Amino acid sequence: MKRAKISIIGAGNVGATSAHWAAAKELGDVVLVDIPQIDGVPQGKALDLSEAAPIEDYDARITGATSYDATKDSDVVIITAGLARKPGMSRDDLLLRNTEIVKSVSQQVAAASPNSVLVVVSNPLDAMVYVAHKASGFPAHRVVGMAGVLDTARYRSFIAAELDVSVEDVQALLMGGHGDDMVPLPRYTSVGGIPLPELMAADKIEAIVKRTRSGGAEIVNLLKTGSAYYAPSAAAVQMTEAIIRDKKRVLPCAAYCDGEYGVGGYFVGVPVKLGTRGVEKVIEVKLTADERKLFEASVQHVKDLIAAVKL
Ligand code: APR
């Protein structure tokens, strides 16, 4: 069987850690790409990861490069290129710099791997996934943004810690934009099948939602020199696995809504079915009037961001 090929653009914290998770899961061969100015860095990280393989027992060819030739005919391309947040910076502050970067990266990726699925991680995510779609020229279902899986993982981890139960048993769905703009849905959160509101007081749930909303900033403030990368990369690789192994996982992702949820032509956080073709379906769930209001505010923020993007 032909091995899948995963290229990761940006060999920084999120990119290199994505390579680590992807190799450890034996999802396929991995190519790490960064800019020519830091030639040697992607190659060095790739070599280091290759040398860990005999210890951790994974078979994956891991290479580094500063040109897109090495990415040719990838099945999935994870885009992490860009600047990361520093304390005091919002994701939106990154907008203009990262638009240029993600635009040029997406064009080069599309030329080298015209049939790939793009998993976008660069922030501000809801705008960058739109930029990647426009710049690559790919059909919208082959471009998807990583936000909901990460926000949901943060939320699930906080719930599990609070209830002192396994994270495996906490199921949740969040919608809307990344972080500050997310739309919590405690009604759709369950612990071993039991709805969360039966296990936790409303004020506790509210506190966890608040912490999840600023989960990225909490880590930026602790690290001081960069932003989160273990959970973001794990989330991007879970999506990559769903695509490569055609798992048809139901995950919250930034996906193109063409009428779903009343959204015409934007990428927003919604539950989707993720498989080989990328986003195979946007799943529509019923929202209460309050949830819909929050969702619409989130969509409006995405629209404002896109309006500020010059492509
Ligand atoms: N092409 C390829 N790589 C690029 C480009 C480009 N045009 N521009 C920048 N990069 C690389 C940088 O050289 C750096 O190695 O992207 C990498 C980014 O790595 P970090 O600075 O460590 O940032 P990281 O924490 O990985 O975050 C990357 O993901 O979560 C988001 O907000 C985060 O937008 C940020 C992105």
pLDDT in tens, the chain (311 residues): 789 999 999 999 999 999 999 999 999 999 999 999 999 999 999 999 999 999 999 999 999 999 999 999 999 999 999 987 778 777 777 898 999 999 999 999 999 999 999 999 999 999 999 999 999 999 999 999 999 999 999 999 999 999 999 999 999 999 998 878 889 898 899 999 999 999 999 999 999 999 999 999 999 999 999 899 999 999 999 999 999 999 999 999 999 999 999 998 999 999 999 999 999 999 999 999 999 999 999 999 999 989 988 77
- Can you give the chain as a three-state secondary structure string? CCCCEEEEECCCHHHHHHHHHHHHCCCCEEEEECCHHHCCHHHHHHHHHHHHHHHHCCCCCEEEECCHHHHCCCCEEEECCCCCCCCCCCHHHHHHHHHHHHHHHHHHHHHHCCCCEEEECCCCHHHHHHHHHHHHCCCHHHEEECCHHHHHHHHHHHHHHHHCCCHHHEECCEEECCHHHEEECHHHCEECCEEHHHCCCHHHHHHHHHHHHCHHHHHHHHHCCCCCCHHHHHHHHHHHHHHHCCCCEEEEEEEEEECHHHCEEEEEEEEEEEECCEEEEECCCCCCHHHHHHHHHHHHHHHHHHHHCCC
104 Cβ below 6 A of ligand 1: yes
Contact (CB, 8 A) for 157 and 167: yes
Q: Where in the chain is the domain with CATH 3.90.110.10?
A: 148-308
Regarding the beta carbon of 80 and ligand 1, being less than 6 Å apart is answered yes
Mutate to test the pocket of ligand 1, among 80, 107, 122 (most ligand atoms within 8 A of CB): 80
Q: How far is the CA of 96 from the centre of ligand 1 (A)?
A: 14
Between the CA of 128 and the centroid of ligand 1 the distance, in Å, is: 13
Catalytic residue, from 20, 133, 178, 301: name it: 178
20 annotated active-site: no
Question: Residue 156 and residue 229: Cα distance in Å, rounded?
Answer: 17
Residue nearest to atom 15 of ligand 1 (CA): 12
State the pairing for strand pair 29-33/62-65: parallel
Which superfamily, per CATH, for 5-145?
NAD(P)-binding Rossmann-like Domain (3.40.50.720)
In angstroms, what is the span from residue 185 Cα to ligand 1's centroid? 31
pTM of the predicted protein model: 0.97
Intervals of CATH 3.40.50.720 along the chain: 5-145
Tokens of 246: 């055609």
What are the tens digits of pLDDT across the range 149-184? 999 999 999 999 999 999 999 999 999 988 788 898
Q: Which atom of ligand 1 is nearest to the CA of 94?
A: 34
Report the phi/psi class of residue 176: left, alpha or beta, with left for phi > 0 and alpha for psi in -120 to 50: left
Q: How far apart are CA 23 and CA 30, in angstroms?
A: 7
HSE of 95 in the Cβ direction (CA atoms, 13 Å)? 16
The one-letter amino acid at 244: I
Q: Looking at domain 148-308, which CATH architecture does it have?
A: Alpha-Beta Complex (3.90)
Assess whether the C-beta atom of 4 lies below 6 angstroms from ligand 1.
no
Dist CA 159 CA 215 (whole Å):
13
Q: How far is CA 34 from CA 1, 13, 125, in A?
A: 29, 12, 19
